[in-house]
Amino acid sequence: MTSIDLADRSLDLGEWAARTPDADAEFAVAVRGWLEENLAGSFASLRGRGGPGSEHEFFTERLEWDRHLARAGWTCLGWPTRYGGRGATLAQRIIFHEEYARADAPARVNHLGEELLGPTLIEFGTDEQKQRFLPGIVDVTELWAQGYSEPGAGSDLAGVATTASPADGRWQINGQKIWTSLAHVAQWAFVLCRTEPGSTRHKGLSFLLVPLDQEGVTVRPIQQLTGTSEFNEVFFDDAVTDADNIVGEPGDGWKVAMGLLQFERGVSTLGQQVGFARELDAVTDLARSNGALDNPEIATRIARAGISLRVMRAHAPAVLDGVPGADSVGKLLWSNWHRDLGELGMAVRGASALIGPATTAEGAFNDLTDPEHVELDEWQRLYLFTRADTIYGGSNEVQRNIIAERVLGLPREARA
């Protein structure tokens, strides 16, 4: 079995994206050149750092990297120029995310603001909200967390119970959110709340922008299987936000929240697939070096992983074109593939994968982590963290229900 070539697995979106070859080729050269020139010096050690399960790695340094990108005009590419973006075409955004992943550049710390909240405010926000919040996202001076899931409302967001009521020109918020990524380093959260007493399901919800640095907000990190804590519980006890910090009208929260989720599965996920290809290549190289590739079962699993990655990539245009249900199919494809890759990595490692982790290397972690933290190797971490891939962002069961009910027209699942 030969090495899996990243270029061979690049997205074939040329005709679909209607690219202008010369202009897009120049853009790709500019992106590639800038990354090569700037991922050097103090930033060189950040290559490959961060990302799901590894958000603790060099967070302060990666934050400075994001701000370095901002100063050079490489944040918020697809936003209109009047909001501080670059006004890049869809094809250019695809190029950027793929080149960024191929350069093994560090995971971004501003994803929730740049890819989710920003486009949502551009679509649904007032002029005042855009003027107040978009500049802090563009220059990475304000970080955001997503206040959706709750102990009783994980993938089923219609079960949200956190409440917000008007009081003295502000909203007063009470309740609990959970699995809130990076809330411990964010200054703000966009929070889905129930603002109409007695309302149920999708009705009576509102989308609020809430400062986290205030009395009445408690952020409590959750230790994960990997030993790290990028997820959090967030408690609101009479926390407040200004009355104007509501996106859309009161009761429109479901529409705004669903609009945001469409942005979540956008162009940036294409770069994610390039990262998946790199991970598969690393598993293949490991299997070749330690002899595991001689095992027919391992060789077959690696081959199937390569085929499945091609299927995932072939499905990408349907997601970007907004084909009904395509985003749910895409979530099922990548999350199950990545979980299976974690299992494959451990199988390739063999018995050595069960050996306990080594002591954390000095300098690898900063103030986001416990000094007693011990580090897993890349395959152990991949295996453990990918157990969550089929849960967060909408579990397998929820995605299949969406496909069944909204695409295939099957009867709705009975609810208690």
- Both 166 and 69 in one domain: the answer is no
Domain count, the chain: 3
- Name the active-site residue from 264, 279, 362, 413: 264
Within-domain flag for 367: yes
- Both 154 and 246 in one domain: the answer is yes
Within-domain flag for 131: no
- Summarize the confidence of residues 294-301 as an average pLDDT: 95
Rounded Cα–Cα distance for residues 288 and 383 (Å)? 20
Alpha carbon of 164 to those of 3, 122, 125, 264: distances in Å? 55, 24, 19, 25
- pLDDT for position 263: 67
* Residues 157 and 257 sit within 8 Å (Cβ to Cβ): yes
- Both 336 and 392 in one domain: the answer is yes
- Summarize the confidence of residues 399-413 as an average pLDDT: 87
- pLDDT for position 303: 95
Q: Which of 81, 108, 135 is the last residue of a domain?
A: 108
- Both 401 and 298 in one domain: the answer is yes
- Both 57 and 25 in one domain: the answer is yes
Paired with 166 in beta bridges are: 171
- pLDDT for position 360: 44
Within-domain flag for 86: yes
pLDDT in tens, 162-187: 999 998 889 999 999 988 888 899 99
Within-domain flag for 222: yes
Which region among 177-181, 276-280, 322-326, 352-356 has the lowest average model confidence (pLDDT)? 352-356
Confidence of residue 268 (pLDDT cuts 50, 70, 90): low
The residue range of the domain holding 343 is: 265-408
- Both 279 and 217 in one domain: the answer is no
Q: Is the pLDDT of residue 416 over 60?
A: no
Average pLDDT, the chain: 83
SS (H, E, C) 129-192: HHHHHHHHHHCCCCCEEEECCECCECCCHHHCCCEEEEECCEEEEEEEECCCCCCCCCCEEEEE
Give kind and range of the element (H or E) at residue 217: strand 217-222
Which region among 58-72, 234-248, 391-405 has the lowest average model confidence (pLDDT)? 391-405
Within-domain flag for 275: yes
- Both 269 and 148 in one domain: the answer is no
Within-domain flag for 121: no
Rounded Cα–Cα distance for residues 145 and 160 (Å)? 17
**Does the annotation count 264 as an active-site position?**
yes
pLDDT in tens, 339-349: 999 999 999 99
Rounded Cα–Cα distance for residues 173 and 217 (Å)? 9
Q: Is the pLDDT of residue 11 over 50?
A: no
- Both 160 and 95 in one domain: the answer is no
- Both 346 and 303 in one domain: the answer is yes
* Residues 187 and 211 sit within 8 Å (Cβ to Cβ): yes
- pLDDT for position 291: 93
The CATH number assigned to the domain holding 21 equals 1.10.540.10
Note the pTM of the prediction, 2 decimals.
0.77
Q: Is the pLDDT of residue 293 over 90?
A: yes
> What percent of the chain has a predicted confidence (pLDDT) above 70?
87
